[in-house]
Amino acid sequence: MMDLQTPITINTEDTFKTIFSKYGAYALDKQDNLANAIGELEGDLDIDEGTLAFNNDLKFDIQILGFYSEEFNQWSWAWDNENIGFNEDLILSSEKIKEIGDEFEIKEFSTPVFEIDFDECHAMIMIASSLLDDSGYYVADVDDLKIFLSINSDKVKEDNSSEKFRLIFNSFQKNYDVYTKLAFEGYTKLKGYDFKERDDFSLAKIGEDRVIASFSERGKLMGIQLLTAD
């Protein structure tokens, strides 16, 4: 009988922390791919053209997700466009996030403007990036605003190695307040890898390699091991 895995989804009773635990590591994986593509280059945003250029050979079409005012600690979603005037073609991804927020009662996605810390913006957009399944996001400085942009391009190459999986997960659970076991499951399944769970450990099958994470009774990571086929 085929072993059908339960997919990663949002439930209406999920807290923001639960949703971030499910989707955050996958977004961190994407950000690592994007960082490898652009290096230390700073992007040149052209809103009229709808592009973000890093040099003559590296230019991406973009979607505008929203923007942050450091002066007022205020986030604004691009889907709340009536008084902004963005080209409608540039806010389609933002509108998708609004639809998800409405469906699952996620106030962070369905409230047009609200106060928030800058670091919390990143957590929010990491979830959005995973839900959109884009290539990553970029933050452009324009006057006094931080504009969050979604990028989707085959110029951003994926690294699907088991070693990267181990490093990304370890970094995610160390640097963010998440439910660690859930984060491992979410990252594994969103990457399309086989996931197995036992009482005290979880396993990700990546090709012929295995990443095994062991947990305490309270779900804290006790250790993470990479077993390669070599």
Range of the domain at 190: 162-227
Number of domains in the chain: 2
Per-residue confidence at 229, pLDDT binned at 50, 70, 90?
Answer: confident
Same domain, 87 and 181: no
Q: Residue 3: pLDDT above 70?
A: no
> Would 216 be classed as within a structural domain?
yes
Q: Are residues 31 and 128 in the same domain?
A: yes
| 42 and 107 part of one domain | yes
Residue 47 neighbours by CB under 8 Å, 6+ apart: 64, 86, 87, 90
- Cβ neighbourhood burial of 224 (10 Å; 0-12, 13-18, 19+): buried
Q: 94 by DSSP, 3-state: which? A: helix
Query: What's the whole-model pTM score?
Result: 0.94
Considering the domain architecture, whether residues 184 and 115 belong to the same structural domain is answered as: no
**Residue 166 shares a structural domain with residue 218:** yes
- Residues 32-88: pLDDT tens digits? 999 999 998 999 999 999 999 998 789 999 999 999 999 999 999 999 977 778 899
Distances (CA, A) of 78 to 62, 73, 156, 173, 193: 13, 16, 24, 30, 33
For residue 1, what pLDDT is reported?
35
The answer to whether residues 133 and 30 belong to one domain is yes
Does a structural domain hold residue 1? no
- Summarised one tens digit per residue, pLDDT across range 156-211 is 999 999 999 999 999 999 999 999 999 999 999 999 999 999 888 999 999 999 99
For residue 2, what pLDDT is reported? 43
Query: Is 8 contained in some domain?
Result: no
pLDDT grade for 91, boundaries at 50, 70 and 90: very high
The predicted-structure confidence for 105-154, as pLDDT tens digits, reads as follows 999 999 999 999 999 999 999 999 999 999 999 999 998 899 999 999 99
140 and 211, same domain (yes or no): no
Q: Strand, helix or coil at 31?
A: helix
Residue 5 confidence (pLDDT): 78
pLDDT computed for residue 152 by the predictor: 96
Q: What is the pLDDT of residue 4?
A: 58
The single-letter code of the amino acid at 148 is: F
Q: Domain check: are 213 and 102 in the same one?
A: no
Return the amino acid letter for 118: F
Using the 3D structure, point to which of 99, 119, 151 is the last residue of a domain.
151
Cα→Cα distances 50→30, 91, 115, 174, Å: 21, 10, 27, 36
- 147 and 174 share one domain: no
